Structure 1
Amino acid sequence: MPDNDGPLNLPVDQGPERASGRSSSIPGPQPTSSTHGPAASPHFVLHNGDGDGDGERHGAIIAAGPDNISDEDEFALTDGYETPASGSASVTSSVYAHTYEHGRRYQHFKNGRYPIPNDDDELHREDMKHAMLMELCDGELFYAPIGRNPHKILDIGTGTGIWAVEVGDRLPNAHVRGIDLSPNQPVWVPPNVDFLVDDCEQGEWLDQDADLVHFRFMAIVLKDVAGVLRHAFASLKRGGWVELQELCAEILCDDGTMADNDPVKYMYELARQAFAQFGMDVMLPKGLGPLLRDAGFENVQCVVKKVPIGPWARDKTLRVIGMYQEMAVQDLMPVLPGRPFTALGMSQMESQVTLAHARQGLGDTSVHRYFEYYFWFAQKPWA
């Protein structure tokens, strides 16, 4: 890669399978966000299921946030919305319960699986990464060529719901459903958008007629990626598409400016080992092709994009993207001494020294570090 004064050469590379040329999946100029007032309807769903071992019951649409839960930890729903599955019309408040560790908030539902908090700081980081990807992808929300008039779109691991809301804005004739373990999504959303609190690995969210099943930053946190891809395959109509937008958390450098003992690279190597303790493989995104084929998909394609870490690029847009990426790294760092590094047996002193060296390293723009983002999309056969 060139030095800091030369033009940046970070092309949109093709991954293991070359992505064919295609027109924009969403025609015409489109807004990237909107503000929704009382005319919209809050749609929250808790899926029917077997619970998570804590006696939780699911199967109701929640019309508002946790403030609506009574002192008895349960409330009846009478807003008249159609429930996606028959069963209970009430739900315990445990889906809103949280665990606090190391000064951060973690979701209690399915507690222990995910070593990243779900507090406001983390939610802001997720929205910032969305803004970065919109810059990186020239405003495109997905690459899968689903046509001009999709009817149903699923967003698995929707997080703050920002992707689902923007897709709902751009495609008002499509029903967009976001699925997540945490009910962190906005209350007021477009009328064609709703959210499901559910565990995507259980497969109870299957619809069988979706045009697109979308994942973002999910491959490394799933314990059974192959199983979830099979669920996605079953949820799609014939000819439907799946897309996974994933970061491969490996620090790379092309021009020799990064030393072997680079402190940022070392921190991410420790993070890789730490997340492995939770069953997470941060290197998996670059190897999703065989898993997609094994799940039954065909026409497997991949676009790989290089993202600078820090504002060292000469290109103005890539400098902005690099600033976003560095901020995302900086905001992740306070999380690492919590569950991740504790799982490695590191002391708080050792963790903080590691982070201090990494912060100092991030400030050196003469080191041209970058990540690779993988955009995989594949099609369910027509026959």
Structure 2
Amino acid sequence: MLIVLGGDIIFARVKDQLEEPTGVVDVGTGTIWAIEVGDMHPNTHVYGFDYRPNQPSFVPPNVECSLDDVEQDWLLDELCSPRRTINYVHARDMTLAVKDRPKFLGQTFKCVEFQIPTESNNTKDWKHWVSTIPCPTRVGCCGWSKTSGFEGTTEKFWKIPIGGWCANKRLKEVGNNMRLILSQGAQAIAETPLAAGQGWSPERVLELVASFREGLGDYSSEPYFTFRAIYGRKPDTHER
């Protein structure tokens, strides 16, 4: 993904603020983003929290990771000192992880980035695979962010290929990587919503996953997904 985005990991206009003592929250933090921001902005304290402890043992001194549930009330007030108020909240790959997205955006009221499901140019198989997972094709994050109180809400879109069907060398590399990621993660993505959520048997889930993986090798439909980044800012009270 960073290849397509030109290596940029922050879209919101907060980079100048991150040079001063401030706080950044990484919701559903993984193993890379929070650490990279901490290295790039040593005056910024990065608070990363996730439902599971999947972070590395060694992180920069200004990066702090803890366990928390994004669906519950956040405990950030206990972490932040008066000198380091939260100026930026980041979330990525959280579409399937959050049930109540308006509540989630209301809790952040800062800046949010999301990803959107897959599409293809002309095939019924991709529509079947994507529609089987109980997730809306349009999560409405931009509208919800405005309702939550954000100003200057901006959306950016990138078409991300799945597989090596693009003539462009850079996008071909991206597509091949994305195909590998989806193939390896297909069972994990499908298992909880289908087995636990809709009562599918393990055999039925595996059958769908096998069909999906086989379809990843068919480039005739030119499959892709639209990567969407959404960001905005909390109004300055002095402007009111």
Which category describes the TM-score, using the shorter chain as reference length? 0.7 to 0.9
Q: What number of residue pairs does the alignment pair up?
A: 227
Deviations 1:269-304 (A, max 9, x none): 212x3xxxxxxx34344x211211111111000101
1:179 counterpart residue number: 49
Deviations 1:73-101 (A, max 9, x none): xxxxxxxxxxxxxxxxxxxxxxxxxxxxx
Structural mapping, 1:215-364, within 5 Å = 215-233=91-109, 241-244=110-113, 246-253=114-121, 258-260=122-124, 262=125, 264-271=126-133, 273=134, 281-285=135-139, 287-335=140-188, 338-342=191-195, 343-364=197-218
For 1:202, what is the secondary structure of its paired residue?
Answer: coil
Match of 2:86 among 210, 216, 219: 210
Q: Distance in 1 between matches of 2:123 and 2:172?
A: 22
* Greater mean deviation of Cα atoms: 347-356 or 365-374: 347-356
Structure 2: gaps of 5 or more residues: none
Distance change in 2, residues 1:232/1:252 (3 Å)? same
For 1:142, what is the secondary structure of its paired residue?
Answer: coil
Q: Is the 2:190–2:205 Cα contact (8 Å) retained in structure 1?
A: yes
For 2:3, what is the secondary structure of its paired residue?
Answer: helix
Q: Distance in 1 between matches of 2:106 and 2:150?
A: 9
1:157 counterpart residue number: 28
Q: Distance in 2 between matches of 1:351 and 1:186?
A: 31
Q: Distance in 2 between matches of 1:189 and 1:227?
A: 30
> TM-score scaled to structure 1, two decimals?
0.55
For 1:212, what is the secondary structure of its paired residue?
Answer: strand
Q: CA deviation at 1:243?
A: 2.7
Q: Percent identity?
A: 30
Q: CA deviation at 1:158?
A: 0.3
Distance change in 2, residues 1:199/1:306 (3 Å)? same
Deviations 1:313-349 (A, max 9, x none): 1111111111121112111222356433324343444
Distance change in 2, residues 1:348/1:147 (3 Å)? closer
Distance change in 2, residues 1:382/1:368 (3 Å)? same
Q: Distance in 2 between matches of 1:354 and 1:177?
A: 38
Q: Which amino acid aligns with 1:301?
A: T
For 2:97, what is the secondary structure of its paired residue?
Answer: coil
1:120 counterpart residue number: none
Q: Distance in 2 between matches of 1:149 and 1:296?
A: 20
Q: Is the 2:161–2:171 Cα contact (8 Å) retained in structure 1?
A: yes
For 2:231, what is the secondary structure of its paired residue?
Answer: strand
Q: Is the 1:180–1:199 Cα contact (8 Å) retained in structure 2?
A: yes
Distance change in 2, residues 1:337/1:289 (3 Å)? closer
Deviations 1:166-220 (A, max 9, x none): 1111111111110111111111111111112112331222458212110111243
Match of 2:222 among 338, 346, 368: 368
Distance change in 2, residues 1:216/1:304 (3 Å)? same
Structure 1: gaps of 5 or more residues: 1-132, 234-240, 274-280
Deviations 1:2-58 (A, max 9, x none): xxxxxxxxxxxxxxxxxxxxxxxxxxxxxxxxxxxxxxxxxxxxxxxxxxxxxxxxx
